[in-house]
Structure formats: C-alpha cells, structure tokens
Amino acid sequence: MSFGGFLGMGEDEHTIPWGKLTYDTNLGGYRTDITEEQLRGAPTFYRDRDDYDWSDRERERELHDYWRTPYYWPI
C-alpha cells in the first residue's frame, strides 16, 4: 500500500499482511481496519530497490508483530 506523495513521487510504501485485509465483493476491493496513524507508523519498503530481501524472515516477523497478526509460517 502506498501513502502520501504526489503523482507517484515521494510515496511511502508499506507491506500489509493479508490478515489485515478482507475482500468485499460489493466494493470490488479490499477493506481494512487500519487507521491512518497506524499506516504512518508502519515499517516501509522501497519497491525500486534491488537489494530488498523478500525472503528475510526477520523482516516478515517485524511486520506481523507491528500489525499484530499471526505468523503464517511454523515457528
């Protein structure tokens, strides 16, 4: 999810665990209970960076802990 910026520049991007999203067929998209304050404080990532390690389990743990969602992998 991206937040802030103007015309795609200066945006902060945040990963949101699937557990925080609910698909709404009437809306044709996802609903969430995330507040703007929570999103502003969430860990960020940068899609443009080639060195982002998507397999970093510690990073996933940090994200799930921040959002208070259960881990989807065995501990």
Residue-wise pLDDT for 41-57, tens only, equals 888 776 665 666 777 88
Does the model's pTM come out above 0.85?
no
Q: How far apart are CA 69 and CA 61, in angstroms?
A: 10
Which conformational region is residue 66 in: left (phi greater than 0), alpha (psi within -120 to 50 degrees), or beta? alpha
pLDDT of residue 31: 93
Joined together, the tokens standing for residue 66 give 């921040």
Percent of the chain with pLDDT over 70: 75
